[in-house]
Chains A and B, each alone.
Chain A
């Protein structure tokens, strides 16, 4: 059986931006166990970075052991189920720390997590960190923000095209660590060869339009390191008002052999198509 390592390529990048002095985002990828996540720290007295780091560390560590059990043949719980459970555990741990340690009061974090297994991906999120998928050159947003701005648009209080004018960008309606429990958005999607998944903090999508994100990811998907660098660079060029974090996961073309096709094979492929 093919492991994730053969078919998936993971890259991540996090940047403080041009205005903030502290990076309160945390980003993590694990090619061996097949997951990527972005967390964006919220509130507290400069403890947002503590919350986002805790989320990434706790979730990463527990996912590895659960994925191992799953790969060893355990069919229950499913990856979506154990990932949700683990996010619940991280929530409790952050909430506990926030209440115990002075200076951490009120801290929390958003989270976007993509867990790849077999031909599927489990997508989980809380807050306004996002997951996009590029398929056949088209970028699609797969998550709905827990944000006041998103509620405003959905309720028709403002038009989506006017959302760029809103002052509510920084107001999230859910975060890990602020309550004893947290509702997590869950989704499962199939994975096709050629897909590119993008996880990002709002420092990217607040400053870079979706058409530019689509153009960069599609143009540079064969060099994910360069694609990530270009996304962060453009967010900074556009102001860099917030921390910027991206994680990119590309599903390699499984149809194509690993060695480069010769001109004859290409010609034949072209004639046959």
Chain B
């Protein structure tokens, strides 16, 4: 259960709990959260509880609903979100989800009514992963110093902006450069010959790369360049 604190000009007027499946918000007295504010519609918005999510939905009100200052039609609420309702604010507090990512163990819960759910054979909706707050190190690129064959030709600069970038021919000889929070790493993927880093053959493990490193592998001679180095 979460708490909602109603304020006007910094003064707390009332508080509510998400103790019902749906909480209605509006100017009308019949609402669960009745706010006497001329800028509100009679039925202004509602908060629906699904599992541990509380979802706010604007009911096409005349003046709209703001979440942290931004107009929103429908949004999952997060701890400390401020819902703007006319001159009033409703602050959403949920200490259970105060941590950035929910570390709860997997639990079983009753499914939502299935009658309106799609048939089995429908393509499942693509759902994004948890929003990552990854901080990337300076970006880097690979400069092609020599190329026998393959996708990249001499003088080309290849940005290493994806999590992995491969060089070579799949099925024959291939290397990969992994982009990780702590830097860039070179690994051998396949092929009879191990890649050479600054003239020395590397082992099977991933090798950290430094600015200016030279890689000979998969028919290429490559130079590793970190942005910001002259």
Contacts and interface: CB of A to CB of B under 8 A. Distances in A.
Contacts of B70: none
A173 B111 contact: yes
B132 interface: yes
B106 A40 contact: yes
B110 A170 contact: no
Interface stretch (A8-16, A77-85, A87-95, A220-228): A220-228
Contacts of B229: none
Interface of A: 19, 40-43, 48, 106, 108, 110, 128, 140-141, 143-146, 148-155, 157-175, 178, 185, 187, 202, 205-210, 212, 215-216, 219-223, 226, 230, 233-234, 237-239, 241-242, 253, 256, 260
Nearest to B79: A167
A233 B180 contact: yes
Contacts of B101: 239, 241
A157 B55 contact: yes
Contacts of B75: 162, 165
B163 A212 contact: yes
A145 to B, nearest CB: 7
- The size class of the interface chain B forms with chain A is 35 or more
Contacts of B111: 146, 148, 151, 173-174
B117 A151 contact: yes
24 contacts: A141-B126, A144-B120, A148-B50, A148-B51, A149-B51, A150-B125, A152-B51, A154-B117, A157-B48, A161-B128, A163-B128, A167-B76, A169-B130, A170-B104, A173-B108, A206-B130, A207-B129, A222-B189, A222-B190, A223-B189, A223-B190, A237-B134, A238-B130, A238-B134
Given A158-B76, A226-B189, 7 more contacts: A169-B102, A206-B130, A210-B126, A220-B176, A223-B189, A230-B163, A238-B129
B102 A43 contact: no
Contacts of B108: 42-43, 106, 108, 171-175, 178
B190 A219 contact: no
10 pairs of A and B residues whose beta carbons are closest in the complex: A173-B111, A151-B112, A168-B51, A164-B128, A163-B127, A167-B52, A144-B124, A171-B109, A148-B51, A160-B125
B18 interface: no
Interface stretch (B28-36, B166-174, B195-203): B166-174
B109 A173 contact: yes
B41 interface: no
Interface in B100-144: 101-112, 116-118, 120, 122-132, 134
Contact of A226 (B97, B122, B124, B187): B187
Contacts of A146: 111
A166 B129 contact: no
Contacts of A241: 101, 103, 130
Contacts of A233: 178, 180
Given A174-B111, A220-B176, A237-B180, A209 B129 contact: yes
B43 interface: no
A145 B101 CA distance: 20
Interface in B10-63: 48, 50-53, 55
Interface string B76-111: 101000000000000000000100011111111111
